[in-house]
Structure formats: structure tokens, C-alpha cells
Copies of this chain bind each other. A is one copy, B any other.
């Protein structure tokens, strides 16, 4: 299982590489996002509020999903499958 002498070392290296590549892309995106916030700020928008907006819009979706889940739970509880 964990004999990382032999070909497993190559596999391990491969996984590490793939993850690091993806993480780098992610870091770039995060930097982009930050930049956008910076721009907005430079134009006078309140970043804190802006973040709240983003969060709320995300939540609205989640909330909808969640509501559906609750509904579903109750349906099941009532045998309405």
C-alpha cells in the first residue's frame, strides 16, 4: 500500500504535480477576484458591502436548495415520497 519505493514514487509525484497545477490556477483566480474588488474600491464602491452582496446572492441560491431539501424531508416524513 504505502511502499513508495518503486513506481509508486512516480505516481505520487504525478499527483502532487497535478494538484499543484490546479492550485496555482486557483490562486490566479483568487488574485483576479481580489483585483476586481480592488477596482471597484478604486471607483468608490464599498468592498465590505460588495462582499455581502455576493454572499447574499450565493445564499439565496443555497437557501432555495435548502428549502427544497427541507420540503423533501418533510415529504418523506409524511410518506409523500
Contact = CB atoms under 8 A, between A and B. Distances in A.
Interface in A8-36: 8-9, 11-13, 15-16, 18-20, 22-23, 25-26, 29-30, 32-33, 36
Contact of A49 (B18, B23, B36, B70): B70
Chain A interface mostly: helix
5 contacts: A4-B76, A9-B78, A12-B78, A16-B78, A22-B33
Interface of A: 1-2, 4-5, 8-9, 11-13, 15-16, 18-20, 22-23, 25-26, 29-30, 32-33, 36-37, 39-40, 43-46, 48-50, 52-54, 56-58, 66-67, 70-71, 73-78, 80
